[in-house]
Structure 1
Amino acid sequence: MSFRTIGDLARTTMLQRHTAQLKAEVQRHTEAMVSGRVTDPAAALRGDLAPLAAIETTLRRIEGWKSTTAEMSLMLGAMQTSLSTLGSVSDTASQALLTAAGSGNPTLIDTTGAKARQDFQIAVAALNTRIGDRTLFAGAATEGPALAPADTILTALEAATAGLTSAADIEAAVNQWFASPAGYYLGAAAPLGPVPIGAGEVVEPGVTAADPAIAQALAGLALGALLDRGALAGDTAGRADLARRAGEALAENAAARVGVAANLGLAEARVADAAARHGAEATALGLARAGLVAADPYQAASDLEAAQTQLETLYSVTARLSRLSLVDFLR
Structure 2
Amino acid sequence: MNYGNLSDLGQNMMLRRQGAGLKTTLAKLTSELTTGNKQNLTSHVRGDFGPLAGLEGSLSRLDGFALGRSDLQLRVSGLQTSLAAMQTTVAAFGTDLTAAASLEQPDVLDAKLASASGRMSQVVSFLNTQVSGQFLFSGMATGQAPLVSSEDIMLHINGLAASATDIADFTTQVDAWFQDVGGGFETLVYGGSDQSQSGIAISEQHKIDLPLKADDQAFRAILRDLAVATAISEGTIAVPQDEKRNVLSQVGQGLIASEQALIAMQRDTGVTERLLTEADVAGRVERGILDMARSKITGADPYETASALEAVQFQIETLYVLTARTSQLRLSDYLR
Output the CA distance in 2 between the equivalents of 1:99 and 1:288.
66
Structure 1 residues 241, 321: CA separation in 2 closer, same or farther (over 3 Å shift)? Answer: farther
Residue 110 of structure 2 contacts residue 233 of structure 2 at CA under 8 Å; is this kept in 1? yes
Residue 167 of structure 1 contacts residue 241 of structure 1 at CA under 8 Å; is this kept in 2? no
Count the aligned residue pairs. Answer: 328
Give the TM-score, by structure 1 length.
0.87
Q: Which residue is 1:5 aligned to?
A: 7
Amino acid at match of 1:170: F
1:222-275 C-alpha deviation (Å, 9 max, x unpaired)? 222223321444633333223212101111222222233333333333322222
Output the CA distance in 2 between the equivalents of 1:242 and 1:77.
36
Q: Does 1:252 align with 2:257?
A: yes
1:94 shift after superposition: 0.4
1:114-263 equivalences in 2 (<5 Å): 114-164=114-164, 166-179=166-179, 180=183, 181-233=186-238, 235-263=240-268
Amino acid at match of 1:292: I
Output the CA distance in 1 between the equivalents of 2:265 and 2:255.
15
Give the TM-score, by structure 2 length.
0.85
Structure 1 residues 241, 15: CA separation in 2 closer, same or farther (over 3 Å shift)? Answer: farther
Residue 167 of structure 2 contacts residue 239 of structure 2 at CA under 8 Å; is this kept in 1? no
Q: Which residue is 1:110 aligned to?
A: 110
| 2:269 equivalent among 264, 270, 293 | 264
Output the CA distance in 2 between the equivalents of 1:329 and 1:113.
117
1:29 shift after superposition: 2.0
Output the CA distance in 1 between the equivalents of 2:306 and 2:228.
79
Output the CA distance in 2 between the equivalents of 1:16 and 1:167.
104
Structure 1 residues 27, 159: CA separation in 2 closer, same or farther (over 3 Å shift)? Answer: same
1:4-23 equivalences in 2 (<5 Å): 4-5=6-7, 7=9, 11=12, 17-23=17-23
1:96 shift after superposition: 1.4
Residue 220 of structure 1 contacts residue 250 of structure 1 at CA under 8 Å; is this kept in 2? yes
What secondary structure sits across from 2:177 in the alignment? helix
Structure 1 residues 128, 18: CA separation in 2 closer, same or farther (over 3 Å shift)? Answer: farther
Structure 1 residues 47, 110: CA separation in 2 closer, same or farther (over 3 Å shift)? Answer: same
Residue 216 of structure 1 contacts residue 253 of structure 1 at CA under 8 Å; is this kept in 2? yes
Amino acid at match of 1:158: N
1:167 shift after superposition: 4.0
1:91-120 C-alpha deviation (Å, 9 max, x unpaired)? 011011112212343333333223121111
1:126-167 C-alpha deviation (Å, 9 max, x unpaired)? 111111221111112211211000111012111112253644
Residue 139 of structure 1 contacts residue 189 of structure 1 at CA under 8 Å; is this kept in 2? yes
Structure 1 residues 5, 93: CA separation in 2 closer, same or farther (over 3 Å shift)? Answer: same
Q: Which residue is 1:101 aligned to?
A: 101
Amino acid at match of 1:140: M
1:212 shift after superposition: 0.8
Q: Does 1:86 align with 2:99?
A: no
Output the CA distance in 1 between the equivalents of 2:42 and 2:151.
68
Q: Which runs of 5+ in 1 are unaligned?
A: none
Structure 1 residues 101, 20: CA separation in 2 closer, same or farther (over 3 Å shift)? Answer: farther
1:163-202 C-alpha deviation (Å, 9 max, x unpaired)? 5364433332222111132232111112234322222532
Q: Which residue is 1:312 aligned to?
A: 317
Amino acid at match of 1:68: G
What secondary structure sits across from 2:201 in the alignment? strand
Output the CA distance in 2 between the equivalents of 1:135 and 1:324.
85
Residue 113 of structure 1 contacts residue 226 of structure 1 at CA under 8 Å; is this kept in 2? no
**Which 10-residue stretch deviates more, 35-44 or 60-69?**
35-44
Q: Which residue is 1:27 aligned to?
A: 27
1:18-42 C-alpha deviation (Å, 9 max, x unpaired)? 4443233223223333444433344
Q: Does 1:279 align with 2:284?
A: yes
Residue 231 of structure 2 contacts residue 237 of structure 2 at CA under 8 Å; is this kept in 1? no
**Which 10-residue stretch deviates more, 196-205 or 72-81?**
196-205
Output the CA distance in 2 between the equivalents of 1:321 and 1:122.
91
Output the CA distance in 1 between the equivalents of 2:167 and 2:104.
14
Residue 69 of structure 1 contacts residue 275 of structure 1 at CA under 8 Å; is this kept in 2? yes
Amino acid at match of 1:160: L
Residue 153 of structure 2 contacts residue 189 of structure 2 at CA under 8 Å; is this kept in 1? yes
Q: Which runs of 5+ in 2 are unaligned?
A: none
- Paired-residue identity, %: 28
Amino acid at match of 1:25: T
What secondary structure sits across from 1:198 in the alignment? coil
Output the CA distance in 2 between the equivalents of 1:222 and 1:17.
90
**Which 10-residue stretch deviates more, 80-89 or 109-118?**
109-118
CA RMSD of aligned residues (A): 2.8
